[in-house]
Amino acid sequence: MKTLIFSGSPRKNGDTMALVNEFINHLEGEYKIIDAYECNIKPCIDCRYCWENDGCCVNDEMQMVYNYIQECDNILIASPLYFSELTGQLLAVTSRLQTYFCARFFRNEMPIRNEKKGGVILVGGGDGSTKNAYKTACTILHHMNSRDIAPIVYSHNTNNIPSKDDIKAMKGSRNLALFFNGKYRL
């Protein structure tokens, strides 16, 4: 089993990564983390190459991500909330998934044949809503052919309680891993 994790957190030891690490501790198989702040992936430049061609003409680390998306069984999107949305850096990286939209709607092709399980982990200080970010994450997951998406895992009061101390969020991270492992129904 293979799992792809898109991390939109700029803090390696922050609240988002505490939940991701709890998730990983219970996950079976291999996984790959795409760190939006560390990877060499440029945002989509709307060159329209993918309107007529498979893939993307920008040659960077995203080429490896495209390959892993084809191979993986599960995809997780994890992000802190910035103004009730996924981080800008994560949105920039995932803008390169435009090629999958274009394959379906311009070229009438199915770019990813195997369905994947999807999951979303969101973390916030408590001053906004998770609704927009979750909707965005689900849209991104759908473009990668994730049809079985687990309920949101969130810690939404991290200004007062660190996510590692949020019992419900930590349990949600464990259950999400078990769902990906095929051992838990949500």
Give SS3 for 33: strand
Is 71 exposed, middle or buried (CB count within 10 Å of its CB: 0-12, 13-18, 19+)? exposed
Q: What is the pLDDT of residues 153-174, one digit of tens each?
A: 999 999 999 999 999 999 999 9
- Is the pTM higher than 0.85? yes
Give the model's pLDDT for residue 97. 97
CB 174 within 8 Å of CB 23:
yes
Whether residue 184 is predicted with pLDDT greater than 90 in this model: the reply is no
The pLDDT > 70 percentage for the chain reads 99
> How does the average pLDDT of the chain come out, rounded?
95
Give the model's pLDDT for residue 183. 87
In the chain the domains, ranked by start, together with CATH numbers, are 2-181 (3.40.50.360)
CA–CA distance, 98 with 95 (Å, rounded to integer): 6
- Per DSSP, what are the bridge partners of residue 85? 82
Going by pLDDT thresholds of 50, 70 and 90, the confidence category of residue 186 is low
Give the model's pLDDT for residue 153. 97
Q: What is the pLDDT of residues 67-113, one digit of tens each?
A: 999 999 999 999 999 999 999 999 999 999 999 999 999 999 999 98
